[in-house]
Amino acid sequence: MTHAPLRFGLIGTGRIGQVHAANIAANRDTTLSWVADPFVDGARSVAESFGGRVTADADELFAADDVDAVLIASPTPTHVDLIEQAVDRGIPVLCEKPIDLDIARVEALRPKVSAAGVPVALGFNRRFDPAFVEVRARVAAGEIGALEQLTIISRDPSAPPAAYVAVSGGIFRDMTIHDFDMARFFLPDIVEVSAVGSTTFDQGAREHGDFDTAVVTLRAASGAVVTIINSRHSAVGYDQRLEAFGALGTLQVANRSTSLVSLSTADRVEATAPYEDFFLQRYAEAYGAELRAFVELVRDGASASPTFDDGRAALLLADAAQRSATERIAVAVSLD
């Protein structure tokens, strides 16, 4: 059965919005119909490259008769209101994480999203990374026995600007939130959070009361333990690793290099190229797969897209980690 391309309205044309625009244009099942951004020059630039009509006002996009789905890539404080507008108009929506920095706003929107029956997906693209998907499938198949330990290492190449730290919501809501969702991808029923954070090198984090280094331990209902290791800098480049451990063995995902070629000489062995630069390169395949899964969700409901409730759960874990690191206590959580 063939379908006409799904017509997207894109809201937000920053770095991640441009990634989504390119993926929409490249997918034969989707087309970019509208591009909205109050910084209208950015919207024009995206439309010139990937198509679509331009507006500075998202209301115009929502009122259009040629929008089948909305992709929200605007700043976090706008997400709740835009999701609500989409749901009110019966328009499926894929929204970048997090839903909001304030769990109260998320909880207030939750009943409407649940009752509306409109597809709402969250942009936890790492669930679609081929290597992570493979490990999860092999764990589920029992290849290493019951999952006992999951270790997630995520370190950025360099710290963000201080101005970004000031509005980010802190390392747990901004950076670790992806790792919280990855933990739940393997172990949905997290019941306890313990976190330690420190500020060892980043002046921006120090100025705004944030951490640049963090380790989080999550305990699942099964007794399995997840360890998340974060840093805002890494001299070796974008550091993204994962290990699943069970009684029968270990499954590991290593960092991806920019080349498969290695050099061995008299003074070095198997020297390789650097790791991929940052998330846009490392997770390029995942962003494309995320879009394809959302299209499946809109068309027939058979989809692996993370839900609004997945976004809520990740934020609850981030809030618990912030409390744990600040008060130096273990925090019990319920994600129901």
Dihedral Cα 85, 89, 90, 92, nearest 10 deg: -40
Q: Per-residue pLDDT for 301 more than 80?
A: no
pLDDT, mean of residues 14-32: 96
Q: Per-residue pLDDT for 298 more than 80?
A: yes
Confidence grade of residue 2 (pLDDT, cut at 50, 70, 90): low
C-alpha to C-alpha distance for 71 and 61, rounded to whole angstroms: 11
Find, among 231, 253, 241, the residue nearest to 155 by Cα: 231
- pLDDT, residue 308, reads 97
Query: What percent of the chain is modeled with pLDDT above 90?
Result: 89
Tens of pLDDT, residue by residue over 68-125, are: 999 999 999 999 999 999 999 999 999 999 999 999 999 999 999 999 999 999 999 9
C-alpha to C-alpha distance for 96 and 277, rounded to whole angstroms: 21
C-alpha to C-alpha distance for 174 and 277, rounded to whole angstroms: 19
C-alpha to C-alpha distance for 70 and 64, rounded to whole angstroms: 11
Dihedral Cα 179, 159, 21, 184, nearest 10 deg: 0
Q: Does residue 29 or residue 272 have the better pLDDT?
A: 29
Of 206-220, 267-281, 302-316, where does mean pLDDT reach its minimum?
A: 267-281
Q: Per-residue pLDDT for 1 more than 60?
A: no
Mean pLDDT (the chain, rounded): 95
C-alpha to C-alpha distance for 269 and 275, rounded to whole angstroms: 17
Cβ burial, residue 111 (10 Å; 0-12/13-18/19+): exposed
- The Cα-based distances of 209 to 205, 214, 242, 312 in angstroms read 6, 14, 29, 24
- pLDDT, residue 281, reads 86
pLDDT, mean of residues 49-63: 97
Give the per-residue SS3 of 139-176.
HHCCCCCCEEEEEEEEECCCCCCHHHHHHCCCHHHHCH
Tens of pLDDT, residue by residue over 132-171, are: 999 999 999 999 999 999 999 999 999 999 999 999 999 9
Q: Per-residue pLDDT for 178 more than 60?
A: yes
